[in-house]
Amino acid sequence: MKDSIRCIEKEREALLKFKDELIDEHGRLSSWGNEKYKKDCCKWSGVFCDNQTNHIVGLDIGNPYETTPLRGEVSCPALSSSLEVLDLSNNTFNGTMSQCIGSLSKLEVLFLGSNNFEDIITESYFFNVSQLQFLQLSYNPGISFNISSGWNPPFQATNVYLAGCKVGPHFPTWLRTQTRLEYLDISNAEISDTFPDWFWELSPKLSGLIVSHNNFQGVLPDLSSKFSTFGTIDLSFNHFNGSLPILPHNGSVLDLSSNEFSGSNEFFGSIPSNLCHLAHLQVLDFSLNKISGGIPKCLNNLTAMIQVGSAFDRSFLLQYSEGFESAFLTWKGKEAEYINTLNLVKLIDLSCNNLEGVVPDEITSLVMLVGLNLSRNNLSGFLPTNIGQLRLSYNNLLGKIPKSIHLQTFNDSAFEGNPGLCGLPLTKVCPGDENAQVPKINENADGMKNPEEEDELINEGFYISIAVGFVFGFWGVCGTLIVNDSLRIAFFKLWNCVMDWVYIKIAISKIRLREACHKFVKF
């Protein structure tokens, strides 16, 4: 029995026209109109139909790869008025969408991010879109907003992504009506303003806030009681000032870097007790601020940096997309993207501040740290033992660098600018070690260690371990057979049986091979 055709003919023809007007160099829409499903557009790639009405309710042609984008202008008549989900993200579409969106009265999810659309977003853009929940226009440099401060949107969005769009210069006051907001990304949006007081009371469900790379100013309020489910706070690369805010206790990513925070009292007094309650925190970045005071000893309460396999909070990820499990993290001046491995990223960056005092021993409890950067502060005292991946350059640390597998493999730049430090990997010899020979570390033109000399110790240990293993293994077996008569007899009986079995198998295989050869020759 043939499957009945569900596709509505008018919508099928509109999609075919839509395809003809696009440039599909990689055949991503090859199923549209092919012989197998020529009449049933509901079976075409990225097309989803309602089981009862047969109308197209979903069009997902977002590009899953970087090298297979669709190009061209989007034809508005091709978009069914019944659409609930429209995903055109990560392609290179151009033109405008303002005429299209207004006719999609049932639209709930709109993903247009990472294209070349050019639109001036006014109130009329969303005039008829009353059911919109997910709005994603990010990384369309040609999109700018021109919306009056008194506009009241007809929708209640839960997720708004406007990164890389021209939202500014003022904070988008229309967000005041979005009381169900769960995630907001207005990073790199050319905003030069302060946060309005009403925003912090807007939505108790807010779990993600990314406003980095803008020109926000002012003092942040106490955030600990504002949000009940906070997972991500990124306020980096702005001009916030004043004391560090008291933070929500359940965050997993906290990035306040490249601001002008100060606050020796708060950071050393009330802030540490609150900071140490962030048990789920995996990324802590306070770098490039003016924070003073000491490093709190209670950092060992950050259990997500202690436990193996603790899960990264993905509560803010969109249920309609798989492309949000990535983040750009800056470490030692280099920006790297982590894709689908965020659960492995556990960083603390307090570099380039005015921190004083000693590096607390408790920090060595954070055994799952990928990186610890305390460089360019005023830290002093002795280094804790059992400390792993770190950078402590340009402080006032004293004493001998503890011996560990990790520390002696570091480049000496991790400890430079600490005249009181001595011992490997530095060339400065510690008192009492003058007679010990300091191995010379040759480096190539790029400052990297010579691989041959770096492997000498490994090779020597490798050969020694082989020799020791052979001696113990050989005499462990042979010595037992010499001393124990019954075991020796049983062993050789087993040996004879095994050899007989092998001999018989080989003999049978030879006979079969010979017979096969004879048959082949006769043939």
Residue 378 has pLDDT above 90, yes or no: no
- Tokens representing residue 371 in the block: 């990186």
pLDDT tens per residue, range 230-254: 677 888 888 888 777 776 666 556 6
Select, from the ranges 101-105, 303-307, 406-410, the one with the highest average predicted confidence (pLDDT): 101-105
Find, among 294, 255, 289, 250, the residue nearest to 272 by Cα. Answer: 294
With b meaning 16 or more CB within 10 Å and e meaning fewer, what string describes 26-39? eebbeebbeeebee
CA–CA separation, 50 vs 82, rounded Å? 9
pLDDT tens per residue, range 326-344: 444 444 444 444 433 334 3
Calculate mean pLDDT across residues 85-103: 90
Find, among 351, 401, 400, 402, the residue nearest to 378 by Cα. Answer: 351
Return the residue matching tokens 């018989």. Answer: 504
CA–CA separation, 426 vs 415, rounded Å? 8
Count CB neighbours of 134 within 10 A: 21
Identify the burial level of 418 via C-beta atoms within 10 angstroms of its C-beta, where 0-12 means exposed, 13-18 middle and 19 or more buried.
buried
CA–CA separation, 189 vs 144, rounded Å? 9
Angle at 258 between CA 419 and CA 375, to 5 degrees: 15
CA–CA separation, 37 vs 32, rounded Å? 8
Residue 476 has pLDDT above 90, yes or no: no
In terms of DSSP bridges, do strands 260-262 and 208-210 run parallel, antiparallel, or are they unpaired? unpaired
Contact status, residue 331 vs residue 349, Cβ threshold 8 Å = yes
CA–CA separation, 31 vs 45, rounded Å? 6
Of how many residues is the chain composed? 523
pLDDT tens per residue, range 287-301: 777 777 777 777 666
Q: How far apart are the first and last CA of the chain?
A: 49
How far apart, in Å, are the Cα atoms of 481 and each of 315, 489, 495?
A: 62, 9, 13
Bridge partners for 86 per DSSP:
59, 110
- Higher confidence at residue 20 or residue 1? 20
Contact status, residue 140 vs residue 116, Cβ threshold 8 Å = yes
Q: What is the CATH number of domain 1-155?
A: 3.80.10.10
pLDDT tens per residue, range 437-459: 444 444 444 444 444 444 444 45
In terms of DSSP bridges, do strands 85-87 and 371-373 run parallel, antiparallel, or are they unpaired? unpaired
